[in-house]
Amino acid sequence: MKIKEFLFTGFYSGYCPVAPGTAGTLVAMAIYILEYLVFGSISWVVNLVVVIILLYPAIKLGDAGEEFFGKKDASEIVLDEMMGYWISVLFFSFNIKIAIMAFILFRIFDILKPYPANKFQELKGGIGVMLDDYIAGVYSLITINIIVVISRIFNLPLGL
C-alpha cells in the first residue's frame, strides 16, 4: 500500500497541512515543467500520453485512497488535482504563462465545481474522486483556448 499511498497523495503532497489540493496541483505543475525541460518541444505529447495512460489507473488509485483513509474523497488524495492540471494543459506547447494560467483556472474550477462537475463528485469510489477534477481540467483547457484565440484575434501582447 505504500506505493499506492505515495501516488494517490501526489508524492505525499496531499499531507500538506494547508491547502493540500493546491499543493498537489503545484506538484503537477512542477512535473509539467520538468517534462518540458527533459523533452523540449514534444513535451505536450508526453503530457498527452501520461494523461491517457493514467486516466483509468487514477480512478483505481482513488478507490485505494478512499479505502486507505476510510472516507469519501479525503483531502489527502490529490492525484485527482494532478490529473486535472495535466488535462488543463493538454495539447499546448510549453509556455510558462499558460502553465500558470492553467494552475489558477484549474484551482478556481476545482473549488467552484460548476455543473456537471459537482454531480460527478457525488459518485462513489475513485470515479467520484477523479471525474470532477477531470471536468475541471476540461473547463480550464477550454477557457485557456478561448483566451488564446481572443488574444490572437485582437493581437493582445500576452505572449500566448
Domain boundaries, the chain: 2-153
Please list, in sequence order, all residues whose beta carbon lies within 8 angstroms of the beta carbon of residue 3, skipping any fewer than 6 positions away: none
Tens of pLDDT, residues 96-142:
999 999 999 999 999 999 999 888 888 889 999 999 999 999 999 99
pLDDT digits (tens, 9 = 90+) for 134-155: 999 999 999 999 999 999 999 9
**So what's the pLDDT on residue 122?**
86
Contacts of 17 (CB under 8 A, 6+ apart): none
- Mean pLDDT for the chain? 95
Distance, in Å, from the CA atom of 142 to the CA atom of 130, rounded to the nearest integer, reads 19
What does the pLDDT look like over 48-71, one tens digit per residue? Answer: 999 999 999 999 999 999 999 999
The pTM of this model reads: 0.95
